[in-house]
Amino acid sequence: MWVKTPAELGLKPEDHFYPWLVRSGPLSAALKQLCQNLSVQVISQQLETATPEEQQALNIQETNSLIRQVYLCGDNVPWIHARLVVPHTTYQSYKPELDNLGDKLLGEAFLYSKSGIQRSPFEFSITPEGLFSRRSIFEINIQQLMLRETFIFLNAILNKLWPHNNPLPL
């Protein structure tokens, strides 16, 4: 279930994790401050059917969306699981760029290099494993894509680095 605010998940602005969930702009820029090397480990990138929930959020019904799943790794440790859902019409418009992302950061290599890009407000969720996720829809001209980021390891790092509720270096 996706909600509109972190408070609906029981988070308060003073919680360590809160600033990470609501941070606008490229998440990778903030993650780079916490490690020597931020890298992308591609899990998969292929045409397939988006989940019913993703199709509903993007208002699509198709079996050939581009689904890209990656880990963002800090010093070779997976911190973020990212899932990109690109409807087929958007994929066709940006096919060469999307096909050549490889191990590049999505925000730097594609999203934030586009003029006129708009990002929807975040929605938030907790996975069955108890991990926090956020998602948003990017609109480039009239084309849409959705990015979900699940914070798989960052919580442990933040609690280790800032155990006394000190502000995070964002």
pTM score, whole prediction = 0.89
pLDDT at residue 170, rounded to an integer = 44
User: Residue 57: left (phi > 0), alpha (psi -120 to 50), or beta?
Assistant: alpha
110 falls within a domain: yes
119 falls within a domain: yes
166 falls within a domain: no
74 falls within a domain: yes
10 falls within a domain: yes
Q: What is the CATH number of the domain that holds 122?
A: 3.40.1410.10
Query: Which range of residues forms the domain containing residue 34?
Result: 6-161
pLDDT tens-digit series, residues 1-12: 899 999 999 989
The band of 153, judged by pLDDT with boundaries at 50, 70 and 90, is confident
- Does residue 164 have a pLDDT over 70? no
Residue 15 CA to residue 141 CA, distance in Å, equals 36
What percent of the chain is predicted at pLDDT more than 90? Answer: 64
Per the structure, how many domains does the chain have? 1
